[in-house]
Structure 1
């Protein structure tokens, strides 16, 4: 059962203290962080040399630093994950982009959703890869950078049913775990990272927000990119349909891990979310190292 914790300038320290206490022994219970007013901005907490030393120590002890951020579309996962990774000096993996690339491959090769075997075969042969040399990392398929193309509407419409194909998920999970072996300091965001892909992650976050807020955010993104103001009600319905598909997938269903920290971003600005996740992630890694020391 999720325990609400108030946030805000006066309560932010209490959040860290209480969650840190719950993390001792490495276990992290599900925590629902209450909202702060939209537009309220707080300075981000410093990282400091202590964090760098903790990461180095964890890796020296053979403990990868994997931070998972799951949740439905429109909760701010991608932007928050990128900023969190940069602040903590970790690599970033957008697994949703991998599934979008798979949907694009199906579109460009004229393969219908009723032919899942052909889709999996095409994706396995398309040279799908993440280029970590770029900032942020780019996604490549069929010999080219498709990072912008996969954000277009036709791909968005197809990605949910494509990502529900079980053999495709198996392929993607294998690729994502291989990426983590090559980049053991990693913030990875998607829908099943904490439940299916990295159940051993150092800390797991699950972001959520109302469908109305998520539709507003998506509309702002579309208007900024295209200059067109989309229909909010249509966007909201699309989001809710996508949620229903994601929640009922036979594999990788959209749900928080039992040990995830649940953050409602409906009325939180990006700085507030990044700041809270940074503090909680640093506390989780400290708890992980303390737990190892106590058992030694």
Structure 2
């Protein structure tokens, strides 16, 4: 049974950031803007927030520090995504090229600033954020060890973000307007909806969630940030596509990819896999092989917003 708890907890460490970042991409793409820059935004959010933790860990610790760092990660991600929003919406630039430029810029910026501040590119921090056991709830048989022991508050925040995203997208006026701008912006404009404003809003929300997702990924997996998020931004795009741009399907897709990532990262702790004697590089390839296979079979039934990636010209009809 201990292996079940171990696998589930490890899967959550990888699933939650994937889900949060993919939900961020959902806001952007539902508004009509493709956000290829998720990887770079994650790096930027993680860099700024980890630097904050490194600088102030003597004054703050625990959940207060983590919540403050998450707010900073979200803010820095939103600010960084403004570059992509301006290029894509106002300048009508190719959104894939704009996002790719930010992906290239973010790690270079993080490495340069880190070396300038401390002489090395790696930023170390102390992990004081893991909750060993939630009072009362952690004592519930089976469910306690599964959900409320050796957990992070980011897991519960991720679930809250999922529920909020589903509610906002399908139960609010904002969500309806956002989706209309991604499906038929000319029709949305004809009834008084500002397509530019809605696309800016979608991209900023996307940036905030991707920035927070960068820190959510780093905290449970390492104490040494090295200007990388291991391709998670691109994997989140696969999760978005596999989830067919729908919040709860995205959550299930993130769970699948999170489990694949767990197998690749923690196979040595699973006796059945460790005893097979398979080269470790095979396990490391599993998430990416799974990504290719899933995209091959799911792309045929893609339900992407019809106007995503197409710059909107207010004067065109």
The reply to whether TM is greater than 0.5 is: no
Structure with bigger helix share is 2
Structure with bigger strand share is 1
Which structure would you say has the larger Rg? Answer: 2
**TM-score with structure 2 length normalisation?**
0.30
